[in-house]
Amino acid sequence: MAELAFRSPFAGLDLPVETGGARLAGLPRTPILAIAPFRGREAAVSDALSGAIGAGLPPVGRWTRLGEGRLSWAGSGQWLLTGPAAASAAPALAGLAALADQGDGWAGMVLDGKDARDVLARLLPLDLDPAASFEGAAARSLLRHVPCLLLAAGPGWEIWVQRSFTRTAVHEIAGAMRSLAGRRALERGDMP
């Protein structure tokens, strides 16, 4: 009997990409649990999570770090729990929320460097001012035409897309990186 093997969503892509003052790299595969509380059960879900993993549901537009993972708001009535805590949280949420293992359905990337904010500004219809995109902020948006979850994390951003959009997202981000680097070189007079 044939066995299925996991194939990275970044297979065949030339990552990491470093252009100008920005760097794009793929994040390693991680367990992901999608959590959608049943109507009127958000408080109960938050309490159950607090007991099981030590953190309740973060508010809209925020994420919370949990050791090697995080609990992120991911859209209207949806949260994503990533990392090792995903497995231990599921039993505590039985009967309180719809749960789905989505570890193989998402691809995470990190974009950082001094030009990362300017690269994203070319791609996203979001206010990326530091006051609006502070550490712990989460937003659902479109990266050009690709739906994404953007997390302000550390010195850069994590960009999560559905696995089937990985190649397109990498292409769009790398193109914006090259475009910005070319523009900066032109402004400095480094190009003929």
Q: Which pLDDT tens digit goes with each residue over 37-68?
A: 999 999 999 999 999 999 999 999 999 998 88
pLDDT at 134: 79
pLDDT at 170: 97
pLDDT at 191: 61
Please name every residue paired with 128 in a beta bridge, in sequence order, or none if there are none. none
End-to-end CA distance of the chain: 60
Tens digits of residue pLDDT in 151-187: 998 889 999 999 999 999 999 999 999 999 888 888 8
Res. 192: pLDDT tops 60 = no
Q: What is the mean pLDDT of residues 1-23?
A: 86
**192, 182 Cβ separation under 8 angstroms:** no
Please report where in the chains the tokens 């659902």 appear, as a residue.
Answer: 140
Amino acid at 52: A
